Structure 1
Amino acid sequence: MYAFVPAALFLVLFGVSVREDRRRFRNAVYLGLTFIFLSVGLLTLVPDLPDGLGGIIVALVFLIPSLGTIALGFFLIGNGLTMIRKEGRSPANLLAFTAGVGIFALIAFVLTLGSRGSRTWDAVVGGVVLLTGYVSFLFLCFLAYAYLYGRIKVRGDVDYVVLLGSGLIGGDRVPPLLASRLRKGREIHDAQIARGGRVPLLLTSGGKGADEKVAEARAMADWLIAGGVPEDHVRLEDRSRTTEENLRYSRAIMESADPGYRCVVVTNNFHAFRAAMMARKAGVNGQVLGSPTAKYFWPSATIREFAAVFWEHKIVNLGMCGAIVALAAVLAVLAINSA
């Protein structure tokens, strides 16, 4: 049973960290390490288990992830083609397709060079696999925890519902992606009033871009008012240009009215966890909720969000990647010298 101690330790760390603040990326890492060490613990039991049960555990730990990786590759390529067809060939829209092709390219690379029987090439392949494994581990941690984070509910009353902007169509019209956020925000607003709570203010956040006729906050507010929200239930933050500024300027408005405010922030579901990390950094007192997004749009958007989170922690991540590359280079040099 000692084999399960590391998994139990990381599970406790996960629980303590989530209780302290749900908006930390380390929560995702603790969750991932819990499953990694749980898998290791299960494998130590295999020799003492009946063949059937032991085979099931081995399949769960090795076979299912392997088949899942191949299935993921096909899914990403198919989704990428859908994304290109519906949204165009911009670099952001090519992310899912590129990731799917990358999975099969990596499999081909490992099978081709890993079978040469050369210690030098083994070191190179090992380095590529470790590097890919590190990034993949972080991505799966991000994906799993983002899913869990997206299940949180609004508990108790809030004073503000902050609605993050995302650009306008034609310079003054709310696009479907932004309308989804506004509908979610209004649902929270209406539900709180319906249960007899205080009236939360809808704080629309977004400045005027160079190609926009009005500030995003103004267009969002007009959309809500046209849909039946009383004008005195709406406040505007119309200076921000980025998500960080959305949160920082909105916090200033809320704090100036009530230093003890409580809020929820609304964005699209693929952006919720990263926005939550930004909200924590900006000192916003509230969690982030996600609104629905078109299913075909979600994979590319999620990959883009992960890339941004990876880069936000670049010192640690680039340090780890550099260490893996250095280790592979040392092993390759040693193999060459011993040949």
Structure 2
Amino acid sequence: MLAYAPAMLFFLFFCLGVRRDRRRFGNAVHLGLAVVFGLLAVVGTLGRSHPLWGLVAGVALFVLPALGTVVLAGFLIANGVTMVRKEGRRPANLLSLLAGLGILGVIALLIAAVVRQTAGLLVIAATTVGLVGYVAFLFLCFVGYAFLYGRLPVRRQADYVVVLGSGLIGGSKVPPLLASRLERGRAVYERLVARGSTPLLLTSGGQGPDEKLPESHAMADYLVERGFPVDRIVREDRSRTTEENLRFSRALMEEANLDYRCVVVTNNYHAFRAALMARKAGVNGQVVGSPTAAYFWPSATIREFAAVFLAHKVVNLGVCLLLVLGGALIWWVR
């Protein structure tokens, strides 16, 4: 039972963190550590009670992630090609392709280090694996908890449904990505009304340099054209970024009601990071996601993770620096 103590401890931290505020990246890390220590405890327990099964579990714990990594690299490369074909060669659309090629590069480095058996190459390979392992662990924590966060229940009562804006097509037309948010926002609004609330729907988005009108106005027009009551819409038309969407929307809601409660709507790949940002901005509400095209999800998720990783750059880059310095020290004393 003692072997499971670390897993149970981190799972307790996870439960307490979710109860305190589910919009915390620390919850994702605690859940990831609980899973890792739980798997190690299972393998260790099997090894002591049933050595053969313990050996099988240990091999599986090594082989399955290795095979999964190769499959993941192929999937990311294929998805990257699809992204470029459908969305163009903008840097953001190349993320999954670059990630897949990067994984293959690390695999090639490991094979070269094992084959050549040179001390310098082994140190470089070990340091690279440490860096990639750290980032990969955080990425899996991010993806796993983002999936879980998107399925946690939200409030049954709310005063506002806030729909975050995005760019417009041709400077005036709502694109499919934004239409998906608006339709989910309408669904959330109707569900709240059915439960007895009288919410307002707040469209949030200012006017970009290439847009003919503020995004919030185009979003409101989209809803009204489809039968949504115009007197239940509030427009926030100053924001240019997600941070400003949340901050300016909060100001409008607090101006009307200091004790407001809200539900924020964005796309599913963006929901968890938007929740982290909402917590930082002091917004009193959780975030829900709307469907996104499957081919778009991998690159968008990588972009979201990179933003969260850099939002905690002091800790994350500090750990990466320590790993590099550790590799340099081994190189120096070898």
Q: Same fold (TM over 0.5)?
A: yes
Q: Is the 8 A contact 1:152 1:289 kept in 2?
A: no
Task: Output the CA distance in 1 between the equivalents of 2:204 and 2:41.
Answer: 48
| Equivalent position of 1:257 in the other structure | 256
Task: Output the CA distance in 1 between the equivalents of 2:119 and 2:38.
Answer: 32
| Equivalent position of 1:37 in the other structure | 37
Deviations 1:241-273, CA, capped at 9 Å, x for gaps: 100000000001001111111000000000000
User: Which letter maps to 1:148?
Assistant: L
User: Which letter maps to 1:123?
Assistant: V
| Equivalent position of 2:296 in the other structure | 297
Task: Tell me whether 1:121 sits opposite 2:105 in the alignment.
Answer: no
Q: Is the 8 A contact 1:205 1:238 kept in 2?
A: yes
Task: Output the CA distance in 1 between the equivalents of 2:214 and 2:81.
Answer: 34
Task: Tell me whether 1:109 sits opposite 2:71 in the alignment.
Answer: no
Q: Alpha carbon RMSD of aligned pairs, Å?
A: 1.2
Q: Describe how 1:52-131 pairs up with structure 2 within 5 A.
A: 53-131=53-131
TM-score, scaled to structure 2: 0.97
Deviations 1:103-161, CA, capped at 9 Å, x for gaps: 11111111102332233322221111101101111111101001001112333111000
User: Which letter maps to 1:265?
Assistant: V
Q: 5+ unaligned residues in a row in structure 2: which ranges?
A: none
For residue 224 of structure 1, report the CA deviation from its aligned partner.
Answer: 0.7
Q: Describe how 1:138-217 pairs up with structure 2 within 5 A.
A: 138-195=138-195, 197-217=196-216
Task: Tell me whether 1:17 sits opposite 2:11 in the alignment.
Answer: no
Task: Output the CA distance in 1 between the equivalents of 2:87 and 2:60.
Answer: 37
Q: Is the 8 A contact 1:272 1:289 kept in 2?
A: yes
| Bigger Cα displacement from structure 2, 149-158 vs 95-104 | 149-158
Task: Output the CA distance in 2 between the equivalents of 1:146 and 1:192.
Answer: 24
| Equivalent position of 2:325 in the other structure | 326
For residue 318 of structure 1, report the CA deviation from its aligned partner.
Answer: 0.7
Deviations 1:220-256, CA, capped at 9 Å, x for gaps: 0011111111111100000001000000000010011
| Equivalent position of 1:267 in the other structure | 266
For residue 50 of structure 1, report the CA deviation from its aligned partner.
Answer: 3.3
Task: Output the CA distance in 2 between the equivalents of 1:200 and 1:55.
Answer: 58
For residue 63 of structure 1, report the CA deviation from its aligned partner.
Answer: 1.8
For residue 42 of structure 1, report the CA deviation from its aligned partner.
Answer: 1.9
User: Which letter maps to 2:300?
Assistant: A
For residue 52 of structure 1, report the CA deviation from its aligned partner.
Answer: 5.5
For residue 59 of structure 1, report the CA deviation from its aligned partner.
Answer: 4.3
For residue 96 of structure 1, report the CA deviation from its aligned partner.
Answer: 0.6
Task: Tell me whether 1:220 sits opposite 2:246 in the alignment.
Answer: no
Superposed structure 1 runs of 4+ greater than 4 Å apart? none
Q: 5+ unaligned residues in a row in structure 1: which ranges?
A: none
Secondary structure (helix, strand or coil) at the match of 1:297 reads: helix
Q: Is the 8 A contact 2:47 2:53 kept in 1?
A: no
TM-score, scaled to structure 1: 0.96
Q: Is the 8 A contact 2:268 2:288 kept in 1?
A: yes
Task: Output the CA distance in 2 between the equivalents of 1:46 and 1:62.
Answer: 16
Deviations 1:292-339, CA, capped at 9 Å, x for gaps: 00000000000000011111101111100000000000001111xxxx
Q: Is the 8 A contact 2:7 2:37 kept in 1?
A: yes
Aligned length: 334
Q: Is the 8 A contact 2:44 2:54 kept in 1?
A: no
Secondary structure (helix, strand or coil) at the match of 1:198 reads: coil
Q: Is the 8 A contact 1:201 1:235 kept in 2?
A: yes
Secondary structure (helix, strand or coil) at the match of 2:26 reads: helix
User: Which letter maps to 2:284?
Assistant: N
Task: Output the CA distance in 2 between the equivalents of 1:56 and 1:11.
Answer: 26
Q: Percent identity?
A: 57
Secondary structure (helix, strand or coil) at the match of 1:162 reads: strand
Q: Is the 8 A contact 1:121 1:332 kept in 2?
A: no
Secondary structure (helix, strand or coil) at the match of 2:265 reads: strand
Q: Describe how 1:302-321 pairs up with structure 2 within 5 A.
A: 302-321=301-320
Q: Is the 8 A contact 1:208 1:239 kept in 2?
A: yes
Deviations 1:52-89, CA, capped at 9 Å, x for gaps: 53244224422221111111111111111111111111
| Bigger Cα displacement from structure 2, 219-228 vs 38-47 | 38-47
Secondary structure (helix, strand or coil) at the match of 1:94 reads: helix
Task: Output the CA distance in 2 between the equivalents of 1:318 and 1:154.
Answer: 34
